[in-house]
Amino acid sequence: MYEYHILPNGIKIILSRTQSRVIYSGVYINVGSRDEQGSDEGMAHFIEHSLFKGTEHRRAYHIQNRIDGVGGELNAFTTKEETCIYASSLSEHLERCLELFADILFHSTFPSSEIEHEKDVVLEEINSYSDSPAELIYDQYEELAFGDHPLAHNILGTKRNVKRFTTERLRTFILQRYTPSRMVITVAGNVAFDKLVRLCDKYFGSYENHPSVVDRSIKPTFHHFDKHVNRHTHQAHVLIGCEAPDVYHADKTAFTLLNNIMGGPAMNSRLNMAIRERYGFCYNIESQYVPFSDTGLFYIYAGVDLGAQDKVKGLIVDELLRMAEIPLTTRQLRMAQNQIIGQMAINNDLGMNEMQSIGKGYLCFDHVDSLEEMSVDLMSLKPDDVLRVAQTYFGNDRFSMLTYGN
């Protein structure tokens, strides 16, 4: 069971109590790349890098050494809708982690010399993505799918924007968006909840909540397309997808199961069996379901032989349409339900995954379902539920395709 608390300034706290000596902690902030505009595109990701470059109390070296020096790890990431700063450490160093999170979130100075250096790092990160078609194709797909909506923005931003970022602009972006009521402190580990609340109040409780300029009232529109991009690659990169349920939609549970059946991590996924195992057309084929706050995306990615790309596209579409035409048998459904519940249990057994999962969940909802509650929801699905969802989202007129190849 999870334990919850909300500080007077609006910061949420959630704990998953374990008996491990290792504790995983983090701060989720409900701000991502979709909350940028114009010349600020790429700012959330750049701030994620720059938070570690100096505060009113510490230089960059001292920040890096604060957790690593006691054998822990400190890191961060940015998505379309969230920024997360997190750490793993021995349980006795939890206070050290929380104090550091507060310091870099509320007291970062963004020294100009460090910012200029970090620009080069991020520019190289952009170059790295440009050289990796298997990663770049996802960004271009989202740009085509969402058009001029902020969800279409590349999380890394553009080189032009990155070169123009300044200390003042970083500070303004944070002040306008990183308000306490958009934060969740998430912990998985062996700590008493009342102690955790006291520590969070000690280091985070004094910061006043204030209005945020974040506005997600404009819902994105999904644009359909079929685009081929000529690139000199040794294999074709194929991405086929469609719009999917958002994180609050009633179809989310059924679609999560559907995604796992189609191209989840197991070797027995339908796409893996139908395309890799039967024909040997590809080494890697997988599907992903990404629910946002007001829409969702479903992708199927395959890296295939250049001469087989058209055949593979047809096979993928056939498998999707088959899901929308032929209901699962009771036995097939039960196997799929047991499989995904097992995968979730193994995933949640990893403390870092559990900490991040409950943090993101509490950011979106006032309650986070336990594995038992999620299992009940999954096991309540009937074959007709899965068929209806497949018929709702899968269809020849719903799929959009992006291909890289010669």
Tens-place pLDDT, residues 324-355: 999 999 999 999 999 999 999 999 899 999 99
What's the confidence (pLDDT) of residue 396?
Answer: 74
Among the listed residues 97, 107, 91, 108, the one whose alpha carbon sits nearest the alpha carbon of residue 27: 97
Question: By 3-state DSSP, what share of the chain in percent is helix, strand and coil, each rounded to 5?
Answer: 50, 20, 30
Pairwise CA distance, residues 75 & 87, whole Å: 6
Taking only Cα atoms into account, the Rg of the chain, rounded to an integer number of angstroms, comes to 22
Pairwise CA distance, residues 80 & 176, whole Å: 17
Domain 226-405 maps to which CATH number in 3.30.365.10, 3.20.20.70, 3.30.390.10, 3.30.830.10?
Answer: 3.30.830.10
Q: Give pLDDT < 70 ranges for the chain.
A: none
Pairwise CA distance, residues 294 & 216, whole Å: 9
For 71, the 3-state DSSP assignment is coil
Which burial class, exposed, middle or buried, applies to 392 when counting CB atoms under 10 A from its CB (0-12, 13-18, 19+)?
middle
Class of domain 2-204: alpha beta
Length of the chain: 406
Give the relative orientation of helices 167-177 and 43-50 as an angle to the nearest 10 degrees. 100
Domain boundaries, the chain: 2-204, 226-405
Helices and strands counted in the chain (H then E) = 16, 11
Q: For residue range 2-54, list pLDDT tens digits in order.
A: 999 999 999 999 999 999 999 999 999 999 999 998 899 999 999 999 999 99
What's the confidence (pLDDT) of residue 404?
Answer: 96
Q: What is the pTM of this model?
A: 0.95
Give the relative orientation of helices 330-348 and 371-379 as an angle to the nearest 10 degrees. 170
Please indicate whether the domains covering 2-204 and 226-405 agree at the CATH topology level: yes
Token output for 86: 């997190």
**Dihedral of alpha carbons 176, 177, 178, 183, sign:** positive
* DSSP state letter for 124: H
